[in-house]
Structure formats: C-alpha cells, structure tokens
C-alpha cells in the first residue's frame, strides 16, 4: 500500500506523522524514538528541518534499522534528499511568491528524485500566520497568510488542487505559538477534494482531535515531543 493511498483512505482512521529533525537528535535518541513510535502506532515519519547540520542519510538509516514505519522526506532545500527514503512530500510553497520554493529547487532536484524511485507526493504547502515568526517563514523569505484571512487560505488551497497537487499541507511552522484554527481547516476541507495535512503548534491531544474533526487527514507533530517522548502515545491515540 502506497503512502498516498493510506492518506486518501484516512477519513475514518486518521494518520499520525512524527516529524524528525536530524539536528534535534543523536543516534541514541533516534533509536528510542523509533522503538517508541512503533509501540504507539505512528503511521509515518517525516524527515526534515530548516538547516540540518547533521546527516539526513545517517538519521534515515537509524530509523529504518529500528522500525518498519515508512520514512518520508519533508525537505527544506535540495540538500535534504536521501535516495533510500520511502517517499517525499514534494512541497511547493504556494502561499508565497519566492520562485525557488515554487519551482526552482524542484528543477534542480528533479533527476535525483526520479532516479531514486521513491514515491513522490506533490503537495501544496500553505504557511499560515499562527502568532509569531517561524523558521520556515524566515528561511523561505515568504510571508504567511494572515490567520484572520481564511478566504485567502481557501482560495490558495483550491488553486493548489487545480494545479495538480495531490495534497494540501496547512503549516503553522515549527514551534508555532498556536495551531492552525479549526475554522480554517473546515473551510479548506469543504472546498477541496484532496487530503489535508496539518502541522505546527499542535501540542495536546485535544488539539490533535480538533484538527482531525475539522478535516485533517493527517496530523503532524514535531517539537511537542522533543522534550518528552512519552507524550507521544496520547497524541497518537487522539488522532484515531
């Protein structure tokens, strides 16, 4: 079963993705994360970050050595590619106007991604303001859509679907002050027919559940468990 087929069939049982930033972990913590993620029922690892000083390949190898959970790339740049990953969210930052993140980096990486044979999921990436500047905003050189402008978020998501994206990722940004509002998720859900992924600022089981009920096919958690991995079990359970 492909990663995308799981995503489109997740309306009844939501998917839970754990975002792993190589810069936040070492081999020991990665082994613990992999084992505990298996126990908790995590569906997918997303592998990526803003800078990534440590090796993506090494992180991927550790995760694959200790779990069968698929590892999907969540690249911040063309330097964040690993040929042995199971898949890649091929992100196009459609909320911004920086051509490098709309198509430029994709052209540079096109042959490498094709030759890898990994599953490619074209994903419209929409950055929404959730209360404070985030790393993705700074690194991409783009402004997020204001959180009080759901009509712009919806129109951007519709355009992303019309352009051929297979999923829409509503992103609050790593360490976001607040999660994406449920009203925005609902409005987007009501206007597109492709899966919605939601991440950024989600820290509690109730926030996971709220995002799922609003229409998220997959909820992504990252920094919320970096200090306490044992929160993972209740967060995963809330996504079902």
Q: Which CATH class is domain 3-238?
A: alpha beta
pTM: 0.96
Q: Is the pLDDT of residue 53 over 70?
A: no
Query: Do residues 154 and 112 lie in contact, with contact meaning Cβ atoms separated by under 8 Å?
Result: no
The Cα–Cα gap between 124 and 121 comes to 10
106-149: per-residue pLDDT in tens?
999 999 999 999 999 999 999 999 988 888 898 899 999 999 99
Which alpha helices (H) appear in the chain, and where do they start and end? 3-8, 27-40, 56-66, 99, 105-116, 135-140, 150-162, 182-189, 205-214, 232-238
What per-residue confidence (pLDDT) applies to 2? 96
Structure tokens at 92: 């196009």
Q: Is 51 exposed, middle or buried (0-12, 13-18, 19+ CB in 10 A)?
A: middle
* Residue 10 confidence (pLDDT): 77
């Amino acid at each position: 079963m492909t990663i995308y087929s799981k995503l489109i069939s997740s309306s009844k049982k939501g998917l839970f993705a754990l975002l792993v930033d190589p810069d936040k972990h070492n081999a020991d913590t990665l082994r613990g994360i992999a084992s505990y993620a298996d126990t908790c029922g995590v569906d997918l690892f997303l592998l990526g970050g803003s800078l990534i000083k440590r090796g993506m390949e090494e992180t991927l190898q550790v995760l694959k050595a200790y779990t069968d959970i698929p590892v999907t790339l969540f690249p911040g740049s063309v330097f964040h590619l690993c040929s042995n990953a199971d898949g890649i969210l091929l992100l196009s930052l459609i909320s911004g106007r920086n051509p490098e993140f709309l198509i430029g980096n994709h052209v540079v990486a096109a042959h490498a991604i094709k030759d890898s044979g990994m599953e490619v999921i074209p994903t419209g990436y929409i950055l929404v303001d959730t209360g404070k500047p985030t790393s993705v905003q700074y690194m991409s050189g783009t402004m997020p859509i204001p959180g009080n402008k759901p009509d712009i978020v919806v129109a951007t998501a519709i355009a992303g679907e019309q352009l051929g994206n297979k999923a829409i990722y509503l992103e609050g940004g790593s360490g976001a002050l607040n999660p994406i509002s449920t009203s925005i998720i609902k409005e987007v859900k009501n206007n597109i027919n492709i899966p919605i992924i939601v991440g950024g600022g989600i820290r509690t089981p109730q926030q996971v559940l709220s995002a799922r009920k609003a229409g998220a096919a997959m909820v992504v958690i990252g920094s919320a468990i970096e200090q306490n991995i044992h929160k993972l079990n209740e967060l995963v359970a809330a996504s079902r």
